[in-house]
Structure 1
Amino acid sequence: MVLTSYEWDRDQLEKIIEELESILLEMVKLETSFNEFLEKIHPTYRDSAINFLHYLALRQKDIRELQENLAHLGISSLGRAESHVMDNISSILKILYYLNGRHGRSPMISKNLIKYEDGKRLLEHHTNGLIGDRTAKRDTRIMVTMPSEAANDYRLVRDLLASGMDCMRINCAYDDVDAWARMISSLRRAERELKKTCRVSMDLAGHKLRTGPVEPAPAVIRWSPRQDGYGRVMAPARIWLTPMEYCAQAPTDTDASLPVPVKWLSGINIGDVVKFNDTRDRSRRLKIADSFEECKLAECYKSAYVIENTVMHHYVSGDEDSEPIDAQVGKLPENERYIVLKKGETLIMTEDRTPGTAAVRDEAGNVVIPATIGVTMPEIFSRVKPGERVWIDDGKIGGIIRHVNKNHMHVEITHARPRGEKLRGSKGINLPDSRLDLPPLTKKDVEDLAFISHNADIVGFSFVNSASGVYELQSRLKELGGDNLGILLKIETVSAFEHLPELLLAAMRSPGAGVMIARGDLAVECGYERMAEVQEEILWFCEAAHMPVVWATQVLEKLAKKGMPSRAEITDAAMGVRAECVMLNKGAYIVEAARTLDDILMRMQVHQKKKRSMLRKLDLAKRFKVLKENVEKPDRN
């Protein structure tokens, strides 16, 4: 029964006391049952492991009614007890003993009591050890994923370090040992130049299931003139004619670029006319409007489709009755490769790595032959079952397995926009319902560990699912002399989330450990509607374990890639202050994104610490005193 007023009697208080004492007893029992296991925990994490066990004992009960009663009494409701859970309950009990006349009584507690200040100190100590010391102005660290060009661009690495990067992240799914070594070398040089330090985290590629390549689309150049809302031509399309022997970069305001023989092009002058028939056998006319040495700029008032070997007829001085000089269009760049999938259609996923093909359709647009695409891990076909879900490309495409055998499976597309979704090669595939039972480390992972163990500070464990996998990684690192490395558990599957307690305790055998909330894959696996809840639980468990958290995936993504953030991602980045580190992914504007994140985190840290709101003096409240007269004496006119 929930208390309904500030009045209470001894019987009500006694029931609350009994419930809290029962919780303390369960904490002590769980800790005692793990005594042998705790001996294997690294000394720096032993107290944290004990507090974590206490928290697990607390969260095995539904204490919402107890919280409500404590709140009515004006006493802590245990909502912020993660880092010092037994101490918090013990303090509450001492108050309740006093209120109920039991002066001098003390609750039964473990000899390993982690107090409030201990919890803060341990989390900061573990964060410093894993990701590096906090800066003078900012508590939350910034991790930045290196793009491939960082291997040969010292200025990019230096600018990122100057803009607030505290940890360089290298994803071993991309590039190679030589490129990674150059990235790290540039970082060390930048550290010396800027007199700053930065950790290096290297993610194992892991068992990342991806789509295979896609058959290239026809190499076609298309253009159209500019039209108004009524379809009237307002301005011609601008076509750049460049020597095929050494293609010159087209101006940014052109609509298309055509490679043609330099000898033919050199004979063309302003005012000349070039005619051709496009792929639809429609006659089209180009008028030469400008000349830039060998390159020419032409104008066309009609749309056209041009392919390689299209014959161009040059009429000198625009005399279209004269004998033309002919040439053929050279090799054109391949168009973007993708397959369009619509809801209700079938996608055949195969073990064959030959390029995937689009669906064959009849004149009415109905599918005659389904689309096909290969996968990077054909062993999944013996492990998945009909009825299980498939998500592709961070959840943009969803489907259900309808049929499967040893070398292919049929997937019915159930999630796609009405006009269809574009499926490209090398896109991630998630199987949230399937139990794949794959070995924790791939052959590539084991090979990469040889470099990681001697060049990195942290190893990111991708697609970790079990404590045994953590033990295997720790064993491999010890063999390579890298047992001093910190381990960053990437929680990106439902299985990893469901085994989070075991994973955290296993990681505590290492001198440094942390958790990355890989929100992209995790959201696809658990469902976007559940992502916020899952994210909160991970943050709670990690705070109870005094383990640093990296807030990752799509942070300031539009800013990093396009140079302009959305309002939603600014708010998301601000909430990253609840973690110990925020990760940025690569993009053309990554330096600007790092500067922006640095500013956001500095502003937010005075307002938020973990899940606690910090009650800094607010100018908005202070201003009310100045405006008081306006409230008391409203304008009567």
Structure 2
Amino acid sequence: MLQDQPNIQSMLEQVETIERAAQSKELEYAEVLSRIHPNLLASAKNLIHYRTLRSFDIRELQKQLGRMGLSRLAKAEGHTMASLSVTATILRALLLGEFVEKERVNLTITKAQEIVRTHTRKLLGYRTEGRRTRIMVTLPGEAAEQPELVFEMVQKGMNCARINCAHDGPEAWKKMIANVRTASRALGVHCQVAMDLAGPKIRTGELQPGLKVRRFKTPKDSLGRVKQPVEVWIAPAPHPTKPYPHLPLSSVELKKMKPGDKLYCRDTRHKKRQFRVTKVLDDGCLAEAYRTVYLGEGSQLFTDKKLKSRPLTVGVLPPLEAPILLTTGDILRIHRSNELGESAKYDDNGQLIDVAHISCTSEEVFEQVKVGEPILFDDGQIEGVIRKVKDGELYVEILHTKEGGGKLRADKGINFPDSNLSIRGLTTKDRKDLPFVAEHADVVNLSFVNSPQDVRDLIDELSQLGAANRIGVILKIETQAGFDNLVDILLEGMAVYPIGVMIARGDLAIEAGWDQIGRVQEEIMSLCQAAHLPDIWATQVLENLAKKGIPSRAEITDAVMAQRAECVMLNKGAYITQAIGLLDSILRSMGPYQEKNAPMLPAMEGAKRRK
């Protein structure tokens, strides 16, 4: 051992240097720590200690510790000073060749694990028996009118229902919440309600309206054969509870229809088509078509095959959206004015008359972006670069779209990943929505948190509403600035309790770059663990399954990785209940193999299908 003494001495000095630096940094943060909620004070100190540890490059020290069979400090997030103290004690004992009593620390490994569980339970409610990780699910608009859907979601394992304030309104939100509460009581479980403030997301503006036409499309198999008819609700108003495609007809003739009757027409393509009535109700009828039908406002349907009867006229139809088709090399003009966007215009010879244009919902960006900076649309599906900034307009050259061109629609996200934007968190709409959220929800989700000031603004608003420390807070990290300022953001947020973090990987991947998102989400999880705050793994989890009914292999792997978080979020989709069920099964089966970021080793089993 003597020949290793210089090496052990050097290792001990490195550990002691980190310990002193962590203690010194804690003193620097004394004023910030004075504002921390009492339940989070020890956690806030540990966050400071861990961030200090990570300011050192300890890779060589880790290798040396590993070669000696000692802890490599790789899992020290939740108990940094305890891990450093234990390591220093062992190194001193090896150096002296005798027993050395370990220093007492307030935050032990066991205590840190219990703190995380307590904070998670306070914010996200009780876990489902048999799995550690909670499931949060975004409620679709139909959840307001379909209590049976909400019941099934809770029954399948939803622990927290998320309502996005960017959609619907107070009347629908109130119905959704009532359905969640009713389902929870009926099933004897508690499902939290979290409401997402819309936040200052930069989006594309409105487009010129398209034609007033509706397509009733029959689903087909891979060979192009009709699998089943399309069901259509024919009535003056949409169906009150079911999302059937709606054909607006207002005529006394409808009241005379009976099951088996047919309605005939020539659609907008002058093709012969027919609907067969399957059910007649007081306010309309259900009908089915076995071939795709296009009908416009004013189109006529007849009760006889020769189209000689008194016509039934199609009523008012909403215009179709006319998306802008963009290909590589195109120029797109983005403007501050509310002028409706439209595609490029060409003359009869195919010569360009005017470039495509669309407005932007945020006026601030026009003063803050620069020529040469990248710009991304619709979750990065369309990429461009700013070529000119002039008089409230940006001229963007399109650099990349999917093959055949990308369709840019209204209300799609715009990202400026390299621009230094100073856009604050709470919007006018957020402040308007907050009283409802504070009264009815268990948790408020703050979108696009970029700085400690954004968090302070929310806490001030909640304090004025008497809701601070009564309603939980989740900070959504979805920008580069949010990640870069995360330690200070967390410390600001820890003034209230309970609090957690959502890793909004969609916008974050666009902002940070696809090559960086893996590292960034790992760092966010590490900092959350250091602060003993629950983290929520969000965006595109089992997305294919939720929307199309079939999961991809890649998203199954992603769901398995999500087990390390305290909560996983699913977005809405036609197959959302199936997605909840599969995620519940994955989290249960993976629970024995993972405790946060520490792999566990249960007895090895063969592969077997779970029933």
After TM superposition, the score normalised by the length of structure 2 is 0.85
Amino acid at match of 1:581: C
Amino acid at match of 1:462: S
Q: Name the structure 1 match of 2:552.
A: 566
Amino acid at match of 1:10: Q
**Superimposed CA distance per residue, residues 239-258 of structure 1 (whole angstroms, 9 cap, x where no aligned partner):** 9999998999xxxxx9xx99
Q: What secondary structure, in the 3-state scheme, does the structure 1 residue paired with 2:158 have?
A: coil
CA deviation after TM superposition for structure 1 residue 260, in Å: 12
Question: Which residue of the other structure, out of 80, 91, 111, is the alignment partner of 1:96?
Answer: 91
Residue 167 of structure 2 corresponds to residue 174 of structure 1: yes
Q: Per the alignment, do residues 325 and 618 of structure 1 end up closer, same or farther by CA in structure 2, a change over 3 Å counting?
A: closer
Question: Which residue of the other structure, out of 497, 500, 508, is the alignment partner of 2:494?
Answer: 508
Structure 1, gaps ≥5 residues long? 1-5, 249-253, 267-273, 319-323, 622-637
Q: Per the alignment, do residues 120 and 295 of structure 1 end up closer, same or farther by CA in structure 2, a change over 3 Å counting?
A: closer
Q: Name the structure 1 match of 2:242.
A: none
Question: Which residue of the other structure, out of 64, 72, 79, is the alignment partner of 2:67?
Answer: 72
Q: Per the alignment, do residues 242 and 64 of structure 1 end up closer, same or farther by CA in structure 2, a change over 3 Å counting?
A: closer
Question: Which residue of the other structure, out of 50, 54, 57, is the alignment partner of 2:45?
Answer: 50
Amino acid at match of 1:401: I
Q: What secondary structure, in the 3-state scheme, does the structure 1 residue paired with 2:412 have?
A: coil
Contact 1:143 1:169 in 2 (8 A): yes
Structure 2 CA distance for aligned equivalents of residues 135 and 224 of structure 1: 40
CA deviation after TM superposition for structure 1 residue 113, in Å: 3.8
Residue 102 of structure 2 corresponds to residue 116 of structure 1: no
Q: What secondary structure, in the 3-state scheme, does the structure 2 residue paired with 1:433 have?
A: coil
Amino acid at match of 1:358: S
Contact 1:151 1:183 in 2 (8 A): yes
Following TM superposition, the consecutive aligned residue runs of length 4 or more in structure 1 with deviations greater than 6 angstroms are: 221-227, 238-248, 257-263, 274-279, 287-300, 303-318, 324-329
Q: Name the structure 2 match of 1:389.
A: 374
Contact 1:245 1:262 in 2 (8 A): no
- Calculate percent identity across the aligned residue pairs: 40
Q: Per the alignment, do residues 103 and 330 of structure 1 end up closer, same or farther by CA in structure 2, a change over 3 Å counting?
A: same
**Superimposed CA distance per residue, residues 305-362 of structure 1 (whole angstroms, 9 cap, x where no aligned partner):** 98667899999989xxxxx999898569544531111111011112233431111235
CA deviation after TM superposition for structure 1 residue 8, in Å: 5.7
Q: What secondary structure, in the 3-state scheme, does the structure 2 residue paired with 1:409 have?
A: strand
Structure 2, gaps ≥5 residues long? 240-244, 257-263
Residue 135 of structure 2 corresponds to residue 149 of structure 1: no
Q: What secondary structure, in the 3-state scheme, does the structure 2 residue paired with 1:100 have?
A: helix
Contact 2:82 2:105 in 1 (8 A): no
The total of aligned residue pairs comes to 590
Residue 158 of structure 2 corresponds to residue 165 of structure 1: yes
Structure 1 CA distance for aligned equivalents of residues 160 and 68 of structure 2: 45
Q: What secondary structure, in the 3-state scheme, does the structure 2 residue paired with 1:606 have?
A: helix
The answer to which of 568-577 and 530-539 deviates more is 568-577
The answer to which of 572-581 and 207-216 deviates more is 207-216
Structure 2 CA distance for aligned equivalents of residues 306 and 498 of structure 1: 52
**Superimposed CA distance per residue, residues 555-583 of structure 1 (whole angstroms, 9 cap, x where no aligned partner):** 11111122221111111111111100011
Q: Name the structure 1 match of 2:441.
A: 456
Question: Which residue of the other structure, out of 544, 560, 565, is the alignment partner of 1:579?
Answer: 565
The answer to which of 119-128 and 438-447 deviates more is 438-447
Amino acid at match of 1:529: D
CA deviation after TM superposition for structure 1 residue 33, in Å: 2.1
**Superimposed CA distance per residue, residues 186-237 of structure 1 (whole angstroms, 9 cap, x where no aligned partner):** 222222211111212111111121111222333468999999x9xxx999xx
Amino acid at match of 1:378: E
CA deviation after TM superposition for structure 1 residue 525, in Å: 0.8
Structure 2 CA distance for aligned equivalents of residues 605 and 305 of structure 1: 51
Q: Per the alignment, do residues 331 and 479 of structure 1 end up closer, same or farther by CA in structure 2, a change over 3 Å counting?
A: closer
Structure 2 CA distance for aligned equivalents of residues 374 and 128 of structure 1: 44
1:338-349 aligned at under 5 Å gives the runs 338-349=323-334
Question: Root-mean-square deviation (CA), in Å?
Answer: 4.1
Residue 22 of structure 2 corresponds to residue 27 of structure 1: yes
Amino acid at match of 1:389: P
Q: Per the alignment, do residues 149 and 329 of structure 1 end up closer, same or farther by CA in structure 2, a change over 3 Å counting?
A: closer
**Superimposed CA distance per residue, residues 261-320 of structure 1 (whole angstroms, 9 cap, x where no aligned partner):** 999xx9xxxxxxx998987xxxx77498999999999999xx9998667899999989xx
Structure 2 CA distance for aligned equivalents of residues 311 and 455 of structure 1: 47
Q: Per the alignment, do residues 98 and 206 of structure 1 end up closer, same or farther by CA in structure 2, a change over 3 Å counting?
A: same
CA deviation after TM superposition for structure 1 residue 115, in Å: 1.2
Structure 2 CA distance for aligned equivalents of residues 549 and 220 of structure 1: 45
Amino acid at match of 2:56: K
Amino acid at match of 1:214: L
Structure 2 CA distance for aligned equivalents of residues 103 and 297 of structure 1: 86
Residue 599 of structure 2 corresponds to residue 613 of structure 1: yes
Structure 1 CA distance for aligned equivalents of residues 467 and 218 of structure 2: 62
Contact 2:81 2:105 in 1 (8 A): no
1:355-370 aligned at under 5 Å gives the runs 355-361=340-346, 367-370=352-355
**Superimposed CA distance per residue, residues 122-157 of structure 1 (whole angstroms, 9 cap, x where no aligned partner):** 111111111112232111011111112212222122
Q: Name the structure 2 match of 1:438.
A: 423
Question: Which residue of the other structure, out of 487, 512, 519, is the alignment partner of 1:533?
Answer: 519
Structure 2 CA distance for aligned equivalents of residues 555 and 204 of structure 1: 21
Contact 1:286 1:299 in 2 (8 A): no
Q: Name the structure 2 match of 1:545.
A: 531
Q: Name the structure 1 match of 2:414.
A: 429
1:383-422 aligned at under 5 Å gives the runs 383-422=368-407
Amino acid at match of 1:440: G
1:459-470 aligned at under 5 Å gives the runs 459-470=444-455
Q: What secondary structure, in the 3-state scheme, does the structure 2 residue paired with 1:378 have?
A: coil
The answer to which of 578-587 and 112-121 deviates more is 112-121
Structure 2 CA distance for aligned equivalents of residues 297 and 33 of structure 1: 71
Structure 1 CA distance for aligned equivalents of residues 455 and 233 of structure 2: 57
CA deviation after TM superposition for structure 1 residue 435, in Å: 2.8
Q: Name the structure 1 match of 2:589.
A: 603
Question: Which residue of the other structure, out of 365, 380, 404, is the alignment partner of 1:380?
Answer: 365
Contact 2:219 2:230 in 1 (8 A): no
Contact 2:543 2:551 in 1 (8 A): yes
Structure 1 CA distance for aligned equivalents of residues 267 and 536 of structure 2: 58
Structure 1 CA distance for aligned equivalents of residues 458 and 293 of structure 2: 58
CA deviation after TM superposition for structure 1 residue 500, in Å: 0.4
Residue 197 of structure 2 corresponds to residue 189 of structure 1: no
Q: Name the structure 2 match of 1:210.
A: 203
CA deviation after TM superposition for structure 1 residue 408, in Å: 2.1
1:252-401 aligned at under 5 Å gives the runs 286=272, 334-361=319-346, 367-401=352-386
Q: Per the alignment, do residues 295 and 365 of structure 1 end up closer, same or farther by CA in structure 2, a change over 3 Å counting?
A: farther
Contact 2:267 2:294 in 1 (8 A): no
**Superimposed CA distance per residue, residues 362-386 of structure 1 (whole angstroms, 9 cap, x where no aligned partner):** 5676643211112222332122222
Who wins on radius of gyration, i.e. which is larger?
1
Q: What secondary structure, in the 3-state scheme, does the structure 2 residue paired with 1:190 have?
A: helix
CA deviation after TM superposition for structure 1 residue 39, in Å: 2.1
Amino acid at match of 2:354: I
Contact 1:559 1:589 in 2 (8 A): yes
Q: Name the structure 2 match of 1:630.
A: none
Structure 2 CA distance for aligned equivalents of residues 55 and 529 of structure 1: 25
The answer to which of 332-341 and 578-587 deviates more is 332-341
**Superimposed CA distance per residue, residues 575-634 of structure 1 (whole angstroms, 9 cap, x where no aligned partner):** 11110001111112212211111111111111112221110001249xxxxxxxxxxxxx
Structure 2 CA distance for aligned equivalents of residues 289 and 158 of structure 1: 34
